[in-house]
Amino acid sequence: KDGRSKDQFGLCGCFLCLFAVILLCRTAVVAYVEDLDDSFKESRMDDVWLVDFYAPWCGHCKKLEPIWHEVGSEMRSSGSPVRVGKMDATAYSSVASEFGVRGYPTIKLLKGDLAYNYKGPRTKDDIVEFANRVSGPLVRPLPSQQMFEHVFKRHDVLFVYIGGESPLKEKYIEVASELIVYTYFFSASEDVLPKHITLQELPAVAVFKDGTYFLYDEYEDGDLSSWVNRERFLGYLQIDGFTLYELGETGKLVAIAVLDEKTASEESTRLKSLIQRVAKEYRDHFNRDFQFGHMDGNDYINSLIMDEVSVPTIIVLNTSNQQYFLPNKAINSIEDLVQFINQVLDGTAEAQGGDGIIQRIRRVAYDAKSTVVSVFKSSPILGCFL
């Protein structure tokens, strides 16, 4: 009998414990993300804040919510000084509009008078990385060879200022304050660089990527900020819709091999290796104007150009005006591909699509049609009503 009552107590105690743990967890989770209101405008100045401006009715905001809690908890447990908050931008719309919030959710890092918009993928790791990067120093010194090697291993694309104080360094810091939302900026003295690197001139700005490095040349490359913007991607990328959107800001044309990676036909593999070779071997010719890469499947491209491209193929997109170019003959060799790209550059390739009025009307019709089709596929009855 005694034994049983002990058991009961044990069970009961367990439940109590569990209950307490759940309660504790809940309060802890809530505390990682602070709910912000009107008073935030005044109170925020002493700290660096990462804020999710949301609307209660918005689906993307709801999807972000659990991720946002994870962001808050990770920032806290890593000992970051950044405070994580969320604000109902519909309830405090005047504060939100002062911060320039126009859509939901908007993620911003607020640091004194500066506000940095987050535009990357909405995953915990990406957001935490962004917050740590932007809240830290604009330019991070690399005091030793070990440090250089350490960051070199960690980053695919690495910008380094090399030299002492100079007007170029001031410009570099200025560029960092604008572009730190995208990439890290480092500085080093010449003696921490690997021995095989010899610089003709100091100070210099270098980007380390694609297994080599490139130096910024003020006369050839134009202003430092647009050079960094052009160079912040690897020479050859796996491209998805999000990358394409990001690449738009570089103003480059995007040459893509559209492939089917699951079946990986011989033709797919051949085109991919051709475009990879052009990206590498013709970098000097094309890097200023082109970004190279491949995309798996043609769904995204089809909806972008409102047409059906065959797979595999090569397509060049002009993200500034939504025009695109397709080769008018088979690409059998690297020379064929180079010729096609040159034709796009010198204007002899025929442009299709674009953002003219006809195209915009087609876009509205196309989007309406795809919406109806996708609704019909998931729910035929509702599709009928539509």
Which residues are designated catalytic? 58, 61
**Smaller CB separation from ligand NAG, 224 or 344:** 344
The shares of helix, strand and coil residues in the chain, as percent rounded to the nearest 5, are 50, 20, 30
Q: Mark residues 109-128: x for contact with ligand NAG by CB under 6 A, - for none.
A: --------------------
SS (H, E, C) 340-370: HHHHHHHCCCCCEECCCHHHHHHHHHHHHHH
Region of 8-16, 126-134, 140-148, 314-322 interacting with ligand NAG (CB under 6 A)? 314-322
Interactions with ligand NAG, residue window 247-306 (CB under 6 A) = 253
Sheet holding 114-117, edge to edge: 34-36, 83-88, 48-54, 106-111, 114-117
d(CA 314, CA 273): 12
Among residues 89, 187, 318, 341, which is the contact residue for ligand NAG, using CB under 6 A?
A: 318
Bridge partners of residue 186, in order along the sequence:
140, 160
How many residues in the shown chain lie near ligand NAG by CB under 6 A? 7
- Locate 196 and state its tokens: 């095989």
d(CA 287, CA 231): 9
**Smaller CB separation from ligand NAG, 207 or 315:** 315
**Main-chain phi, psi angles of 73, to 5 degrees:** -70, -40
Q: Interface with ligand NAG includes 71 (CB under 6 A)?
A: no
d(CA 226, CA 234): 16
Among residues 320, 333, 374, 379, which is the contact residue for ligand NAG, using CB under 6 A?
A: 320
Provide the minimum distance between the beta carbon of 354 and ligand NAG in the complex, in angstroms, as a whole number. Answer: 8
Provide the minimum distance between the beta carbon of 290 and ligand NAG in the complex, in angstroms, as a whole number. Answer: 10
Q: Mark residues 197-236: x for contact with ligand NAG by CB under 6 A, - for none.
A: ----------------------------------------
| b/e 201-226 (16+ beta carbons within 10 angstroms → b) | eebbbbbbbeeebbebeeeebeebee
Provide the minimum distance between the beta carbon of 103 and ligand NAG in the complex, in angstroms, as a whole number. Answer: 25
**Smaller CB separation from ligand NAG, 135 or 323:** 323
Ranked by CB distance to ligand NAG, the top (closest) residue is 321
Provide the minimum distance between the beta carbon of 323 and ligand NAG in the complex, in angstroms, as a whole number. Answer: 6
- Locate 21 and state its tokens: 């743990």
Provide the minimum distance between the beta carbon of 349 and ligand NAG in the complex, in angstroms, as a whole number. Answer: 8
Q: Interface with ligand NAG includes 321 (CB under 6 A)?
A: yes
Region of 175-183, 196-204, 218-226, 315-323 interacting with ligand NAG (CB under 6 A)? 315-323
Q: Which residue has the tokens 């504790």?
A: 24
Region of 31-39, 178-186, 264-272, 313-321 interacting with ligand NAG (CB under 6 A)? 313-321
Residue of 34, 106, 101 whose CA lies nearest to 72: 34
Collapse the DSSP code of 277 into the 3-class scheme (helix H, G, I; strand E, B; otherwise coil) and give the result: helix
- Cα 329 from chain centroid (whole Å): 34
- Locate 293 and state its tokens: 């890469």
Q: Interface with ligand NAG includes 344 (CB under 6 A)?
A: yes
Provide the minimum distance between the beta carbon of 370 and ligand NAG in the complex, in angstroms, as a whole number. Answer: 25
| Contact by Cβ (8 Å): 184, 159 | yes
Residues near ligand NAG (CB under 6 A) are: 253, 318, 320-321, 323, 344, 351
